[in-house]
Structure formats: C-alpha cells, structure tokens
Chains A and B, each alone.
Chain A
Amino acid sequence: MSETEAVAAEHVAEEHHPAPAAYVKVALVLAVVTAIEVGAYYVTGLSDAVLSVSLLVMMVVKFALVGLWFMHLRFDSRIFRRLFIAGIVLALLVYTVAMTTLGLLVGK
C-alpha cells in the first residue's frame, strides 16, 4: 500500500472516533448510573436478590460504556474486541468453576 493510501486510511479511522462532546455525554451517563447504584444501596425494603441483580446490571452498563466508547472498541478492529472478550469469558468460566469448587470446600 502506498503512503498516500495509508494516510487516507488513518484519516478514515480517526473520523470514526467521536467528537469530545460525545465523550462528555457518555461520562454524564456514567455519573448518573453511579449515582443510581449508590442510591439503590441505601434503598430499604429491596431484597438482596433484587439489589444484587440491579447492581450487576448497572455495573455491566458502565463496563460496556467505558469499553465501547472510551476504549474505542465500538470503532476499532473486531480483533481487539475478540481478544478482550476472550479474556473476560475465560476469567468468568475459570473462576465460576473455581469458586463453586472452593466454595463447597471452604463451606465444610
């Protein structure tokens, strides 16, 4: 590929990155979700199960927003996304098995 094409490709890639205002909007959403998380912690009358599920859902939303927008996974090559998701999935699988096994042992 010629240098000109490489420069053009770089330009296209950068055009896909959002404007600063979009990042500020994402940060505002993150702040609001964090406030809701903390608020939910203080709400009395919620069962532990409902509170836990609500908090986990909000955690996943925040995780995804940072990953997709701030880390540019939404705009970058799919290879990066696959590498990162592979790590997350592997960690979830390994430690779900480990915690189930060790949890039973520790409980005895």
Chain B
Amino acid sequence: MSDTTAVVEHGAHHTSTGLDNRKLAMWGFLGSECLLFGALISSYLLYRTRGEGVKPVDVYDIPYTSVSSFVLLMSSLTMVLALSALQRDDERQSRVWLTATALLGMTFVGGQVYEFTTFVMHDGISLTANPASSAFFLLTGFHGTHVTLGIIMLLSLVGMSLAGKVGKQNSLYVELVGLYWHFVDIVWVVIFTVVYLMPTPN
C-alpha cells in the first residue's frame, strides 16, 4: 500500500496523505505546543535567580514533587492501556483505564495546588513577589492548566463511552486525547528535570 493511497486507520474518509487529518492536526498542534512550553521554560531559566526575597528554587520539596512526577508518568501507562483495550474491543476495560488516568491526573493537579498554596501561604512566594516566582508560576500554572483540560477530555470520553459513542470503530477519539495526555506528560518530564532537579548557578 502506498503512502498516498487513501487509507485511514480509524476513520472512513479519504485523504491525500493516506493519514487521518485529525491525527495529523493533533501532531501539528503538539509541535506548536513545543514552542509555547519552550518559551515558558526559557523565561524561567533566564529569571530563576533574579529578584529579591525567597525564590521557588530555595524551597522546592523534591521528594514531594518526585511522587507527583511518578503519578503523572504512570498516568501515561494507564492512558495507553485504555487505547490498547479499546483496540481489542474491550470497552469496559478501556473505561476503567480512562477513569484511572483521570484520577491520576487529578492527584497530580491536587499536588500542584498544594505546592502553590504552600509557596504562597508558608513561604511568602506570590505570583508577583519577584521575576523568578512569576516565571515559575507561569510555567507550572500553564502546565497544570493543560493537565486540567486533559482531565476534562478524559472524563468526557468516559461519559461518551458510557453512552455507547466510543467503540473500536472510533478509537481515534481515545488516541487523540491520548496523544495530548502523553505530550503533557513529556513536558513535565522536561520541567521536572530542568526546573526542579538541575543545579542553579549562583
């Protein structure tokens, strides 16, 4: 089968590339998201030591954030297992994995809210305290927003699945949300290393 043959894995429409346009669009979107998060990570790296007062880098709780990172990493596993189950035509198991992914995502976001609250209430690091805290909250806040949107999409999928609208024939829905979710996960892989673990120059 040639690349230009109009075959689409999960859809039924013909395309000039032979690929589903929705999946192609999702990959294009994720490519553009690299630029968004690249900007946010770069600005954090530029400003992480600037300004007066306590900065986020002074009060990171690495064991706590490590557990959060592990939770998000494992949510990628449950997500891919949800897709795998659906492709085997096991809708019930797919729903279980999708729900587990959403719960793990909620755990991660809950952890982030706790971290932010601790920073603000206990350490006196607010959004406008100094350039370092602004860059930190902007970066991690944007990521948390992405995770929250992912959770909404996952719960929507669970609802659609319960209504019988997600099956093996249209597993592309789950695949697209999965791509988004895995992307959010790999962005956190970068943030965890670059923002939390890497040594900060004096």
- On whether the two chains bind one another, the answer is yes
Which segment of B80-88, B136-144, B150-158 sits at the interface? B80-88
Residues of A close to B59: CB separation below 8 A: none
Residues of B close to A51: CB separation below 8 A: 198-199
| Distance of A82 from chain B, by nearest CB (Å) | 9
1/0 contact string of B83-99 vs chain A (CB within 8 Å):
01101000000000000
| Distance of B36 from chain A, by nearest CB (Å) | 9
Residues of A close to B87: CB separation below 8 A: 14, 17
Q: Which residue of the partner chain B has the closest CB to A83?
A: B27
In this complex, the interface size class of chain B, counting residues with CB under 8 Å from chain A, is 35 or more
Main secondary structure of the interface of B (DSSP, over half): helix
B17 within 8 A of A: yes
Residues of A close to B1: CB separation below 8 A: 1, 5, 9
The verdict on A24 contacting B77 (CB below 8 Å), with A9-B1, A67-B186, A90-B34 known, is: yes
Residues of A close to B146: CB separation below 8 A: none
The verdict on A66 contacting B76 (CB below 8 Å), with A17-B87, A87-B31 known, is: yes
The verdict on A52 contacting B198 (CB below 8 Å), with A10-B10, A27-B76 known, is: yes
Known: A70-B77, A71-B178, A98-B42. 9 other contacts (CB 8 A): A1-B7, A42-B62, A55-B197, A70-B182, A77-B19, A80-B24, A86-B31, A87-B35, A95-B41
Give me the interface of B with A, judged by CB distance under 8 Å: 1, 3, 5-10, 12, 17-19, 23-24, 27-28, 30-35, 37-39, 41-42, 45-47, 50, 62-63, 66, 69-70, 73-74, 76-77, 79-81, 84-85, 87, 178-179, 182-183, 185-186, 189-190, 192-194, 197-199, 201
17 pairs, A vs B, C-beta closer than 8 Å: A20-B85, A23-B77, A31-B74, A34-B69, A59-B193, A79-B19, A79-B24, A79-B27, A83-B31, A84-B31, A87-B35, A90-B34, A91-B34, A94-B38, A95-B38, A102-B46, A106-B47
